[in-house]
Every structure is written in structure tokens, then in C-alpha cells.
């Protein structure tokens, strides 16, 4: 069973129409009663409550007739929470913090199998084989999506990943834009 990965270039919150398209894409193939796991391992603790409020609002704005339930992921219960979820939403924040948290689960590919996995900014970065972040520079990701990515893409950063893994495509993903991969 294929996993649907949706990578977002950053700033998935707010009134931009592109963000409605992103959340609609996440929900397009979700069941009518969908369980959404909100993963904020990249966030500072004082931002989690606001992020949840904003993300739930975005999902509900684009849900149509679906009935959605939401749960915030906890590091100790993460594998079980993923198994129960239909959608795993990796919120933005600090790529290194999210990467460190997710590396604790060596069976992520298996856990995500058949799910809808969406990543915004840091969430998109860590899902790929390699990424460039203005905060931490060039880093290896988890390799679940076999590409290199520059989220929050600006022309001045175009060459940041050229020296790394020439066998992989580089995705230049500006803010408010997204791309879908089924793997």
C-alpha cells in the first residue's frame, strides 16, 4: 500500500488560498471519519497550543462533509498514535529538533505505510533524503521521500544542495506551495 507524502514549502497557516489547496489535498483521499495526528516535535513548547488551534481551524475549514478528530502526538506514545491515525501532520519549526525526535523510531517507513503524511517546512525537510535550512544549513533527512528539498525557497539558495547526492532531484519549494509524492 502506497503512502501519500505531501510536502509544503512553509507557512501553511493563514488565509493564503494556496494553503486551502494544501489542506484540501491532505483530506482528498482521507476517510469520511478521519483521525488526524498533529506532530509538533519541531515546535517550542510554548507554541504548541496556538499551533494546534491554527491547524485544527485550517483542517476544519477544508474538511467538507468529513468528521475529523485530532490528537497531539507525544514522543512516548508516538508509534501507537501513528498506527491509529489516518493522517500524520508534521508541523513546521526547528528541523533539527524534529529530526532528532523522529530518529528515535527506526520503523517510521513501516509506521507511515498507507497513511497520508503531510509535512510543513521542517516537517517536509525531515521526510526527504537531504535538505537545506537557513537555520541549520545542509542536513540529511530520514530519506522517506527520495529527493533533496529547499523549503522556504529563495533564488539565492538555489545551489546549496548541488554538492550532495547528484542522483537525487532537488525540489525547490517556495512558501505556500506544495508537492505530492505517492511512494
Q: What is the pLDDT of residue 14?
A: 73
Task: Compute the C-alpha angle 150/17/97, nearest 5°.
Answer: 35
Which residues on neighbouring strands pair with residue 182, listed in sequence order? 4
Which residues on neighbouring strands pair with residue 71, listed in sequence order? 37
* Strands 87-90 and 170-173, bridge-based pairing: unpaired
| C-alpha cell at position 45 | 513548547
pLDDT digits 0-9 by tens, 51-91:
999 999 999 999 999 999 999 999 999 999 999 999 999 99
For residue 82, the SS3 value is helix
Q: How far apart, in whole angstroms, are the C-alpha atoms of residue 21 and residue 27?
A: 10
pLDDT digits 0-9 by tens, 87-143:
999 999 999 999 999 999 999 999 999 999 999 999 999 999 999 999 999 999 999
Task: Compute the C-alpha angle 132/135/138, nearest 5°.
Answer: 30
Q: Can you give the residue range of the structural domain that contains 49?
A: 4-182
Residue 123 falls in which region: left (phi positive, over 0), alpha (psi -120 to 50) or beta: alpha
**CATH number (domain holding residue 116):** 3.40.50.880
| C-alpha cell at position 120 | 510543513
Task: Compute the C-alpha angle 96/173/161, nearest 5°.
Answer: 60
pLDDT digits 0-9 by tens, 8-30:
999 998 778 899 999 999 999 99
DSSP 1: -
Structurally, the chain folds into a number of domains equal to: 1
Amino acid at each position: 500500500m502506497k503512502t501519500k507524502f505531501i510536502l509544503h514549502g512553509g507557512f501553511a497557516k493563514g488565509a493564503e488560498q494556496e494553503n486551502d489547496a494544501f489542506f484540501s489535498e491532505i483530506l482528498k483521499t482521507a476517510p469520511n471519519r478521519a483521525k488526524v495526528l498533529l506532530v509538533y516535535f519541531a515546535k517550542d513548547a510554548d507554541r504548541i497550543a496556538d499551533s494546534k488551534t491554527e491547524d485544527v481551524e485550517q483542517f476544519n475549514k477544508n474538511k467538507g462533509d468529513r468528521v475529523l478528530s485530532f490528537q497531539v502526538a507525544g514522543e512516548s506514545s508516538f508509534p501507537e498514535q501513528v498506527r491509529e491515525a489516518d493522517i500524520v501532520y508534521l508541523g513546521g519549526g526547528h528541523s533539527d529538533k524534529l529530526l532528532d525526535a523522529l530518529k528515535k523510531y527506526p520503523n517510521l517507513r513501516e509506521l507511515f505505510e498507507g497513511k497520508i503524511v503531510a509535512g510543513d517546512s521542517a516537517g517536509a525537510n525531515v521526510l526527504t533524503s537531504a535538505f537545506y535550512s537557513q537555520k541549520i544549513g545542509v542536513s540529511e533527512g530520514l530519506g522517506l521521500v527520495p529527493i533533496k528539498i529547499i523549503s522556504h525557497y529563495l533564488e539565492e539558495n538555489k545551489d546549496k544542495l548541488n554538492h550532495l547526492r547528484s542522483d537525487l532531484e532537488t525540489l525547490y519549494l517556495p512558501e505556500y506551495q506544495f508537492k505530492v509524492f505517492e511512494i
